[in-house]
Structure 1
Amino acid sequence: MDLAARVQALTPSTTLAITAKAKALKQSGHDVIGLGAGEPDFNTPSYILDAAAKAMQEGFTKYTPSGGIVELKDAIIKKMKVDQELDYTREEVIVTTGAKHALYTLFQVLLNPDDEVIIPTPYWVSYPEQIKLAEGKPVYVQASESNQFKLTPEQLESSITAKTKAVIINSPSNPTGMMYSKQELQALGEVCLKHNIFIISDEIYEKLIYTGDKHVSIAEISPELKENTIIINGVSKSHAMTGWRIGYALGKKEIIKAMTNLASHSTSNPTSIAQIAAMEAYNQTDQKLEEMKQAFSERLEKSYQWLIDIPGITCVKPNGAFYLFPNVKEAVRMNGFDSVESWVDAILEEEKVALVPGSGFGAPDNARLSYAISLDQLEEAMKRIHRFVKNHQ
């Protein structure tokens, strides 16, 4: 079949592929520990579930405005004011079918053919694919491990051309868990303002920071940077609502209007009931969310130590999210494998532990491990990886 060239050029999601393989092994009766999925292992808090159930019973099951209900927009606006001291109007907010859809829609309305978007490497797997689908060109800039995988102003400056439309900043980051300080963001922002390029600020992991530092949005640093920034966020990670598919974007009303028009012809609207659930997530507080964050923090501390005790593996300790992104190049070499992909496949086959090779994130010497599973499972997974590395020396 002669499929569209833009679809044939897509690279399948590495994370979804490894998760599917792990699930298939599990369904065959194997004791598989999956470290691939990027979602909390906690259920959505009960007060959110109750609000959704009430909305269904009251008949809130019809179409809504394409850009989201005003009550949810107002909850997002309030959240931004409380958390970042940022002021937005309803015309500057769009609610989308997940943060991924917010990014997809943004690239579709922002990019013309061959417009360039700078992506610091390592990156979340969908950024380049979505840019290519919008006929744009991803421009990769290798952020060094020695600088905690963070883009420097000098790197950004040297990567900008006449075709550069935007740069993506993901803080805290998937896959590295690293986050930028206010000073680092300000330095990057000055470069962006100098060249008048957009900043796409992916802040989906903002609530999962374990260092005691406050999340800083680049948009809050100055009015000029706010004007040039489109914030992408959602409730998936912060409130354990990955399956509800509610995200949002905040930015210039002209951009948000274009995104809303496009959404009206693609998804019609975000799911009505899920919007009520997200509104409740932002309008109430729940101690369980803090407990979830504390659990992730404890898992990070223990799994990080278990991981760096494995021969041939080094790891920059992350600040947030729920991933470890170790450099496994030496372990792969010691074990006699020719790539991280083949090493990861062998671990899944022999030890039934699913990791994600770093090549999907633009970092072929690394692997990504999610610690969004129980401590007992994490400890067992690390034991199995350790055993694999020892047995193949």
Structure 2
Amino acid sequence: MPVILVPKDLGVKAIIRVCSKCYLSAIAGLIGISFFLLPVILDQPLVQIENVINFSSEYVPQKRLMLDGLLSLAPRLPTHWFESGFGLIPCFGIIAVTGMIGAIAWIISLKLKTLDPRLFRAFGIGVLVTLITILMTTDLAIGIYELFPTLQKIQFSWRWFVITVTTAPLIWGGIIWQLGRLHTKWLRNLLLIFLMLVTLASYSFTDKLILDKTGFDSPLVHKFVTFANQKKFPQEPQVNSKGTPILFWHWLFPDGLGIVDVSEYRAKGISMAMPPDRNYPLAAWKDRSSINNPQNNQIGIQIKTWNYGFRQLEIANPHDLSCLQLRMFYYPRWQLKIDDQNSALTATEQGQVEIAIPSGEHSVTLTYTGTIAEQVGKYISLVSIIGTLIWLIWDRSQQKLAKSS
């Protein structure tokens, strides 16, 4: 886009300088949102991301449109509880009106030539991108979603609205700039005030809809904290029944707490149903239980530590090489050590962690080392902090030189 907008009569060096600033700003922006982009790019092959599309029929954008029925000439707004209850319909209206007014203003400026060529191109690009965003939230885009299945990973069509965070201010800025050139001062001021009031009223109304659906229940939060503090591993939750599945993959305990699983974040190869078919022990020998002694599969296992990101067990195996099964899903970023020696981590048929334990007494530790994205993120944070400190020191020294001169 910078190459398109920069006038060619500036000269090669000036064009390179201007475009470099734009691209450096874009790179800085990508670094700023790397906490989201890096996992998507680097860690996607490790998880079952395809379940985003296959999870539920209503978790695809063509089933969660903001405006349907255009192809049948019977337009209708969404009736789903989320879109209709959280201010997304007014938000869609604001974006649609912005796009239409921007298109009209662009056509007028094309006829009257009221905009500088550079502003005209930038304004036109903003209008075009906004109209494309609106298109992707209607049934006119169903064919595009079916032709390019990757686009269905966005899940909900209203997520395209994020693009207008950049284009909407560009459109309104262009419109206000054109109004500022009107010779009739009172009309110009009246239109500017009207635009500001409409914008404020629209966003205030949308925010009110969202806040009306938001609440804070202090007793419920206190209850959650109390129950959560009681569940210290390896102390087991008191589950007297199988539990109730809620919201697809969440399992509600009788005492009010629950466990949560999201299918698209599962590692490859995990197939255990949710809720689980029974309460699995934290650690147990595979295929060692018997009818007379059901606890036989836990003999010789002592759990020393079971914390987030770190588990430590002391194992006494009087038999030959045996398989130890843990109540945790396999993920390739867990590091296994047996007696301080790196060892291979495998998975059961359902995806639980499985460890081959040699005969004798052994110390077993599992440490979560973090994904590539998490590791790269630490370096990005470190470089950003160092860079900020260097800039602050340099800026302070420049200020001192300016004062002394």
Q: TM-score, normalised by structure 2?
A: 0.24
If asked which structure has higher relative contact order (CA below 8 Å, sep 6+), I would say: 1
Over alpha carbons, which structure has the higher Rg? 2
Q: Which is helix-richer, 1 or 2?
A: 2
Q: TM-score, normalised by structure 1?
A: 0.24
